[in-house]
Amino acid sequence: MSYDPFARGAFPVGVRTVHARDAARDRIFPCEIWYPAQAQMRDARPLQGNAPLILYSHPSASQRSAATFLCTHLASHGYVVAAMDHSELVAAELRRRDGESAEDRARRIEALVASRVPDIRFLVDHLLCGAAIALGIGVDAGRIGIVGHSFGGWTALSAGRADGRIRAIVALAPGGASRPRPGILPLKLAFDARRRIPTLYLVAEDDTSLPLAGMHEIFQRTPAPRRMVILRRADHCHFMDDVERLHEAYRAVPPTGELEWLREMKPIGELCSEEEAHMFVRGLTVCHFDAVLREEGAAVGMLRGDLSADLARRGVHAATHEA
pLDDT tens digits, residue range 7-61? 999 999 999 999 999 999 999 999 999 999 999 999 999 999 999 999 999 999 9
Helix axes 102-126, 151-162, angle to 10 degrees: 60
What does the pLDDT read at residue 193?
79
- Which residues is 29 bridged to in the sheet? 20
Q: How many C-beta atoms surround the C-beta of residue 144 within 10 A?
A: 24
Please tell me whether the overall predicted TM-score, pTM, comes out greater than 0.85 for this model. Answer: yes
* Residue 161: half-sphere exposure toward Cβ, Cα within 13 Å: 17
**Residue 263 domain-assigned?**
no
Share of the chain above pLDDT 70, in %: 99
Quote the pLDDT of residue 133. Answer: 85
Give the pLDDT score at 212: 98
- How many structural domains is the chain composed of? 1
Q: Is 174 exposed, middle or buried, given 0-12, 13-18 or 19+ CB atoms closer than 10 A? A: buried
Could you tell me if residue 290 is inside a domain? Answer: no
DSSP single-letter state for residue 40: S
Whether residue 1 has pLDDT greater than 70: no
The string of pLDDT tens digits covering residues 88-132 is 999 999 998 888 899 999 999 999 999 999 999 999 999 999 888
Q: Determine, yes or no, domain membership for 113.
A: yes
Whether 237 maps to a domain, the answer reads no
Let me know if residue 80 belongs to a domain: yes
The domain spanning residue 53 has which CATH number?
3.40.50.1820
DSSP 8-state code for residue 323: -
The pLDDT-based confidence of 321 (bands split at 50, 70, 90) is confident
What integer pLDDT is reported at residue 194 of this predicted model? Answer: 83
C-beta atoms surrounding 133 within 10 Å: 12
Residue 195 falls inside a structural domain: yes
Q: Give the model's pLDDT for residue 207.
A: 98
Tell me what the pLDDT averaged over the chain comes to: 96
Q: Give every CB contact of residue 5 below 8 A, 6+ residues apart in sequence.
A: 77, 282, 283, 284, 286, 287, 290, 299, 302
Decide: 236 and 153 in contact? Cβ < 8 Å.
no
Write b or e for each residue in 20-44: b if 16 or more Cβ atoms lie within 10 A of its Cβ, otherwise e: bebeeeebebbbbbbbbbeeeeeeb
Q: Are 85 and 64 in contact (CB under 8 A)?
A: yes
Q: Quote the DSSP letter at residue 85.
A: -
Residue 323: predicted pLDDT: 64
Position 302 in a domain: no
- Can you give the residue range of the structural domain that contains 109? 13-232
Q: Is residue 242 part of a domain?
A: no
Q: What is the pLDDT of residue 240?
A: 98
Q: What is the pLDDT of residue 98?
A: 87
Beta strand pairing call for 138-149 and 318-322: unpaired
Residues 202-223 as b or e (16 or more Cβ within 10 Å = b): bbbbbbbbbbeebbbebbeebe
